[in-house]
Amino acid sequence: MQFLKNLFKKKVPKLSMKKYLIVGLGNVGEEYNNTRHNIGFKIIDKLVEKNEIDWEIKKLAHYSSFKKKGRQFLLIKPSTFMNNSGKAVRYWALKEKIPLQNILIITDDLHLPFGDLRLRPKGSPAGHNGLKDVENQLNTSNYPRLRFGIGQNYKTFDQVKFVLDQWDETEKTKIEERVSICTEAIECFGLEGINNAMNKFNGK
């Protein structure tokens, strides 16, 4: 994996530094639509809708892109299952020569209250299998991530069943608003940088 680390350390041409890889994590298949674990897909779908673009089926992922204020946002939903998400992230990061700091992974988080947002420039997988695979494929945990709280005292629940269940009625009344705020946070990440995005959206 040393060659991968070396590639990410290389100087990237100025034009490439304006590219951002935005990755929504989830599971493919209709049975997973609108489940808590697929919030990454839902957020990135909203971003595609907001920017009036379409998905294409490409290698290892559904792919789309848009440009805004001199930045290019490359959007993917890995077509592998959650536990193998890193393969698509690695492929597209290398193909587009995107540095680690310009990769944003969007995922669910059991440890945050429902709808809370947490942007971080790096961190541990915290038990999330999708993030574990991304870390293994990139050979580092130093990549930004946006966590969306699906919060619950899951110690009293079947954790796997909980994350794979659909939103309850209370959550359904709030989910669209929270997802829209996430799209704003993602665009802020690309346009203003991770620090400004954290200041504006963490805990919002």
Q: Is 37 a catalytic residue?
A: yes
Domains of the chain by range and CATH?
16-201 (3.40.50.1470)
| Euclidean distance between CA atoms 106 and 42, whole angstroms | 10
pTM for the predicted model, two decimal places = 0.89
DSSP 52-119: T---EEETTEEEEEEEETTEEEEEEEESS-GGGHHHHHHHHHHHTT--GGGEEEEEEETTS-TT-EEE
Per-residue pLDDT tens for 17-72? 489 999 999 999 999 999 999 999 999 999 999 999 999 999 999 999 999 999 99
Nearest by Cα to 186 from 200, 173, 176, 175: 200
Question: pLDDT at residue 76 above 90?
Answer: yes
Q: Which of 37, 62, 111, 128 is catalytic?
A: 37
pLDDT (0 to 100) of residue 1: 53
Pairing of strands 71-78, 61-68: antiparallel
| Euclidean distance between CA atoms 55 and 146, whole angstroms | 21
